[in-house]
Amino acid sequence: MSAATLIHVVVSGLATGSIYALMALALVIIYNATRTLNFAQGEMLMVSTFVAWAVQRSLGWPLPATLIVAVVAAGVMAWAIERVLIRRAVAATHWDVLIITVGLSLVLRSLAGLVWTHDEFAFPSFFGTRPVAIGPVRLAPVSLGIIGASLSLMALLYALFRWTRLGRAMRAVAQNERAARLMGISVERVYATSWVLAAVVGAVAGVLVAPVVFLSSKMGLIVINGFTAAVLGGFGSMPGAVVGGMLLGVIENLAPLYLPSGIRYSVPFLVLIAILVVRPAGLLGRVEQRKV
């Protein structure tokens, strides 16, 4: 395999990895605030992308406007879900919320199928199809665009968490909910914001990935890769989610290149299990000290 091919395959993997990383970030944002997993994250992404597509198709809006539609739709949906279903259940065991989101994922997928059928649809892309040649290396604008857009979004998130009042409140809740509440932070508002923020990140990921994997009710299954990525990097760690996502994307692409077909698809999961055994908290995660 030539070096140029290798670079192309790795860059493709990084592009897929960026999407996984965004999914993982969305999961981690919610996890940090409420200590629960949102199984329906992928379906929320799917629904917001479908809404954007439907608006684009019926009103003929330009693509950037579509992105805004997706983001707004995701935000509204997440706010409503958090308010109606999740908030009252958070007090119960976190398995309860997990099962609610499992149920929610079934409901959303099924509804999307009823409204838009279970067919696959082409989704317009921000980026061209003509490969960019840098010497012998040919890179797809789609891959570069996805990586670039994802990195920008991650930078924005970093800024939000680092320098804004809201971000500090969210970090405080993640560290110690009770202390945060005593400091006068509205924990409920942090819950709601986390859901909305996660859905927005998911919506961007959805619009970016839909032209590649096509728009369909199955699209939400990508959340499983997001889980894997988040655990690889260390659940709860945002840089970990990014590293985990990228790593997963690259491994997924390199395994078919070098390994026989029998085991290649197990590789990401075997790596996951191996990392968990060596570093139970993931690559960049910290082991939480549990107090009695």
Partner 1 sequence: MTARGGLLAASAAAVAVWPWVAPRYFVFLASLIFVNVVVALGLNLLSGYTNQLSFGHAGFLAIGAYTAALVAIHAPRVPVVVTLLVAGAVTAVVGLAFGVPCLRLGGLYLTMATLAFGFVITEAILSLDALTHGADGLRVPAVRVAGLGALGDTGRYYLTALTAVVMVAAAVNVVRTRTGRAFLAIRESEIAAQASGVPVAAYKTLAFVLSAFYTGVAGGLFAFVVGFLSPDAFDVFLSVDFVVMIIVGGLGSVPGSIVGAAIVTVLHDSLAAFQNYRPLIFGLVLIACMRFMPGGIAAATRRISMRLAVSLVVALVVLGGATAEAQQGVSDSEIVIGCSNSFSGPLAYTGEQATRYGVDLYVKVVNDAGGINGRKVRTVYYDDGYKPQEAVANTRKLVEQDKIFAVIAPQGTPPVMATLEYLEENRVPLLFPFQGSPVIRGKKYVFSGMTLYDRQSKMMIDYLVGERKFKTFGVLYQDDDYGKAFLTAYEKDLARHNLKIAAAEPVKRGVTDVSAQIAKLRAAGPQVTFLVLTPGPGAQALKERQKVGWTETMMVSSGPLTDEKYLGLAGDAAEGVEGLSLWPDPLTSDLPGVKAYRAAMQKYFDKNEPNRYSLSGYVAAMLFAEAAKRAGRTLTRETLIGALENVRGFDSGILPPLTIGADHETQKQGFWVRVEKGRFKALTDWLKSD
Kindly write out the interface string for residues 53-92 of this chain, putting x where it contacts partner 1 by CB under 8 A and - elsewhere: --------------------------------x--xx--x
Tell whether residue 156 is a contact of partner 1 (CB under 8 A): no
The answer to whether 206 and 67 have CB atoms below 8 angstroms apart is no
Packing angle, helices 3-34 and 41-59, rounded to 10:
110
Pick the closer one to partner 1 by CB: 16 or 193.
Answer: 16
Beta bridge partners of 138: 133
- Alpha helix ranges (H) inside 60-132: 63-81, 87-90, 94-116
Residue 78: CB minimum distance to partner 1, A: 16
The answer to whether 176 and 45 have CB atoms below 8 angstroms apart is no
Q: Which of these segments, 7-15, 54-62, 67-75, 169-177, binds partner 1 (CB under 8 A)?
A: 7-15
Tell me the two tokens of residue 102: 């499992």
Tell whether residue 263 is a contact of partner 1 (CB under 8 A): yes
Among 63, 155, 276, 286, binds partner 1 (CB under 8 A): 276
Tell whether residue 262 is a contact of partner 1 (CB under 8 A): yes
Q: Show contacts with partner 1 in window 162-201 (CB under 8 A).
A: none
Among 63, 64, 117, 136, binds partner 1 (CB under 8 A): 117
Tell me the two tokens of residue 166: 């809201």
Q: Show contacts with partner 1 in window 224-243 (CB under 8 A).
A: 224-225, 227-228, 231, 235
Size of the residue set binding partner 1 (CB under 8 A): 82
Which helix (H) or strand (E) segment holds residue 133: the answer is: strand 132-134
- For residue 160, the SS3 value is helix
Closest CA to 205 of 44, 12, 23: 23
